[in-house]
Protein backbone atom coordinates (compact mmCIF):
# COMPACT_ATOMS: atom_id res chain seq x y z
CA UNK A 1 0.00 0.00 0.00
CA UNK A 2 1.46 3.37 -0.94
CA UNK A 3 1.41 6.61 1.07
CA UNK A 4 -1.20 8.20 -1.20
CA UNK A 5 -3.63 5.32 -0.58
CA UNK A 6 -3.00 5.52 3.17
CA UNK A 7 -3.57 9.29 3.15
CA UNK A 8 -6.82 8.94 1.21
CA UNK A 9 -8.23 6.41 3.66
CA UNK A 10 -7.14 8.36 6.74
CA UNK A 11 -8.81 11.49 5.31
CA UNK A 12 -12.25 9.87 4.97
CA UNK A 13 -14.97 11.14 7.32
CA UNK A 14 -15.34 7.79 9.13
CA UNK A 15 -11.58 7.47 9.66
CA UNK A 16 -11.43 11.04 10.97
CA UNK A 17 -14.39 10.34 13.26
CA UNK A 18 -12.51 7.37 14.75
CA UNK A 19 -9.15 9.17 14.95
CA UNK A 20 -10.73 12.13 16.75
CA UNK A 21 -13.25 10.21 18.85
CA UNK A 22 -13.29 9.34 22.51
CA UNK A 23 -12.76 5.59 22.27
CA UNK A 24 -9.51 3.84 23.03
CA UNK A 25 -7.11 2.52 20.50
CA UNK A 26 -6.10 -1.10 20.80
CA UNK A 27 -2.39 -1.64 20.21
CA UNK A 28 -1.10 -5.10 19.30
CA UNK A 29 2.60 -5.91 19.51
CA UNK A 30 4.93 -8.80 20.29
CA UNK A 31 6.26 -9.00 23.84
CA UNK A 32 9.91 -9.71 24.57
CA UNK A 33 8.96 -13.35 25.16
CA UNK A 34 7.56 -13.53 21.61
CA UNK A 35 3.94 -13.82 22.76
CA UNK A 36 1.43 -11.37 21.28
CA UNK A 37 -0.07 -8.58 23.39
CA UNK A 38 -2.98 -6.23 22.83
CA UNK A 39 -3.78 -3.29 25.09
CA UNK A 40 -6.28 -0.44 25.12
CA UNK A 41 -4.49 2.90 25.26
CA UNK A 42 -5.33 6.58 24.83
CA UNK A 43 -3.99 8.23 21.70
CA UNK A 44 -3.80 11.33 19.56
CA UNK A 45 -2.66 12.07 16.03
CA UNK A 46 0.31 14.04 14.75
CA UNK A 47 -0.28 14.47 11.05
CA UNK A 48 -0.68 10.94 9.74
CA UNK A 49 1.13 9.39 12.69
CA UNK A 50 -0.81 7.92 15.58
CA UNK A 51 0.75 8.71 18.94
CA UNK A 52 0.44 7.31 22.46
CA UNK A 53 2.42 7.82 25.65
CA UNK A 54 3.42 5.56 28.50
CA UNK A 55 5.78 5.20 31.45
CA UNK A 56 9.45 4.79 30.46
CA UNK A 57 9.70 1.45 32.29
CA UNK A 58 6.52 -0.01 30.76
CA UNK A 59 7.16 -3.47 29.33
CA UNK A 60 5.76 -2.40 25.97
CA UNK A 61 8.58 0.16 25.64
CA UNK A 62 11.29 -2.51 25.76
CA UNK A 63 9.26 -4.77 23.48
CA UNK A 64 8.67 -2.03 20.89
CA UNK A 65 12.34 -1.05 20.88
CA UNK A 66 13.12 -4.67 19.94
CA UNK A 67 10.16 -5.36 17.63
CA UNK A 68 8.65 -2.10 16.38
CA UNK A 69 6.00 -3.55 14.04
CA UNK A 70 2.49 -3.07 15.44
CA UNK A 71 -1.17 -3.42 14.56
CA UNK A 72 -3.89 -1.02 15.71
CA UNK A 73 -7.65 -1.04 15.73
CA UNK A 74 -9.93 1.86 16.59
CA UNK A 75 -13.60 0.98 16.49
CA UNK A 76 -17.10 1.71 17.68
CA UNK A 77 -19.77 -0.38 19.37
CA UNK A 78 -22.53 1.18 17.24
CA UNK A 79 -24.29 -0.61 14.40
CA UNK A 80 -23.13 -0.82 11.76
CA UNK A 81 -19.66 -0.90 13.28
CA UNK A 82 -16.93 1.42 12.10
CA UNK A 83 -13.41 -0.01 12.28
CA UNK A 84 -10.06 1.50 11.37
CA UNK A 85 -7.32 -1.10 11.03
CA UNK A 86 -3.71 0.05 10.89
CA UNK A 87 -0.39 -1.74 10.55
CA UNK A 88 2.78 0.20 11.01
CA UNK A 89 6.12 0.79 12.62
CA UNK A 90 6.55 2.37 16.04
CA UNK A 91 9.19 4.95 16.88
CA UNK A 92 9.84 5.83 20.52
CA UNK A 93 10.94 9.12 22.06
CA UNK A 94 11.47 9.90 25.72
CA UNK A 95 10.15 13.35 26.66
CA UNK A 96 10.03 15.38 29.85
CA UNK A 97 6.66 15.32 31.60
CA UNK A 98 3.43 14.33 29.90
CA UNK A 99 3.36 15.49 26.27
CA UNK A 100 0.66 17.98 25.20
CA UNK A 101 -1.00 15.37 22.97
CA UNK A 102 -1.41 13.03 25.94
CA UNK A 103 -3.13 15.76 27.92
CA UNK A 104 -5.35 16.63 24.95
CA UNK A 105 -6.30 12.96 24.51
CA UNK A 106 -7.21 12.79 28.18
CA UNK A 107 -9.42 15.86 27.89
CA UNK A 108 -11.46 14.40 25.06
CA UNK A 109 -12.05 11.10 26.84
CA UNK A 110 -13.43 12.26 30.19
CA UNK A 111 -16.02 14.53 31.70
CA UNK A 112 -15.04 18.19 32.00
CA UNK A 113 -15.22 18.14 35.80
CA UNK A 114 -12.87 15.11 35.99
CA UNK A 115 -10.14 16.59 33.84
CA UNK A 116 -8.48 19.09 36.25
CA UNK A 117 -7.83 16.42 38.88
CA UNK A 118 -6.60 13.94 36.30
CA UNK A 119 -4.29 16.51 34.70
CA UNK A 120 -2.79 17.48 38.07
CA UNK A 121 -2.27 13.81 38.93
CA UNK A 122 -0.60 13.06 35.60
CA UNK A 123 1.70 16.08 35.81
CA UNK A 124 2.66 15.12 39.35
CA UNK A 125 3.30 11.48 38.46
CA UNK A 126 5.30 11.57 35.24
CA UNK A 127 8.70 13.25 35.22
CA UNK A 128 9.18 11.61 31.82
CA UNK A 129 7.06 9.64 29.37
CA UNK A 130 7.81 7.68 26.24
CA UNK A 131 5.87 8.80 23.20
CA UNK A 132 5.08 5.96 20.81
CA UNK A 133 4.50 7.23 17.27
CA UNK A 134 3.18 4.79 14.70
CA UNK A 135 3.70 5.50 11.03
CA UNK A 136 1.04 3.59 9.09
CA UNK A 137 2.28 1.24 6.37
CA UNK A 138 -1.20 -0.25 5.70
CA UNK A 139 -4.72 0.89 6.61
CA UNK A 140 -8.25 -0.36 6.03
CA UNK A 141 -11.52 1.25 6.97
CA UNK A 142 -14.52 -1.00 7.48
CA UNK A 143 -17.82 0.84 7.69
CA UNK A 144 -20.07 -2.04 6.61
CA UNK A 145 -21.85 0.38 4.29
CA UNK A 146 -19.25 1.02 1.58
CA UNK A 147 -16.41 -1.21 2.81
CA UNK A 148 -16.33 -4.56 4.58
CA UNK A 149 -13.90 -7.44 5.10
CA UNK A 150 -12.83 -9.06 1.81
CA UNK A 151 -14.26 -12.46 2.80
CA UNK A 152 -17.67 -10.87 3.43
CA UNK A 153 -17.50 -8.91 0.16
CA UNK A 154 -16.73 -12.12 -1.72
CA UNK A 155 -19.63 -13.91 -0.02
CA UNK A 156 -22.06 -11.08 -0.88
CA UNK A 157 -20.89 -11.14 -4.51
CA UNK A 158 -21.24 -14.94 -4.73
CA UNK A 159 -24.76 -14.84 -3.28
CA UNK A 160 -25.76 -12.04 -5.67
CA UNK A 161 -24.37 -13.98 -8.65
CA UNK A 162 -26.21 -17.13 -7.55
CA UNK A 163 -29.51 -15.21 -7.42
CA UNK A 164 -29.00 -13.94 -10.98
CA UNK A 165 -28.60 -17.49 -12.32
pLDDT tens digits, residue range 121-140?
999 999 999 999 999 999 99
Q: Which of 92-101, 135-144, 147-156 has the lowest mean pLDDT?
A: 147-156
Alpha carbon 5 to its chain's center: 18
Domain residue limits at 81:
3-164
**Digit-coded pLDDT (tens) for 87-98:** 999 999 999 999
Rounded to 5 degrees, φ, ψ at 18 are -70, -40
Give residues with Cβ within 8 angstroms of 64, minimum separation 6: 29, 70, 90, 92, 132
pTM, rounded to two decimals: 0.89
Our count of domains for the chain comes to 1
CATH at 100:
2.30.110.10
Spatial distance between the Cα atoms of 84 and 73, rounded to a whole number of angstroms:
6
Spatial distance between the Cα atoms of 86 and 88, rounded to a whole number of angstroms:
6
Q: Which of 27-31, 79-83, 105-109, 159-163 has the lowest mean pLDDT?
A: 159-163
Question: Please, what is the angle between helix 100-108 and helix 115-125, to 10°?
Answer: 150
Mean of pLDDT over the chain: 93
Amino acid sequence: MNQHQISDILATPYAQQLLNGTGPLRLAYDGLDGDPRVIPIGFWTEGEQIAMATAPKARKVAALRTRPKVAITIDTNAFPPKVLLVRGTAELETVDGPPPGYLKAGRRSMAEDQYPGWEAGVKGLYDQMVVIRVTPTWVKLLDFETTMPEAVEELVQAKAAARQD
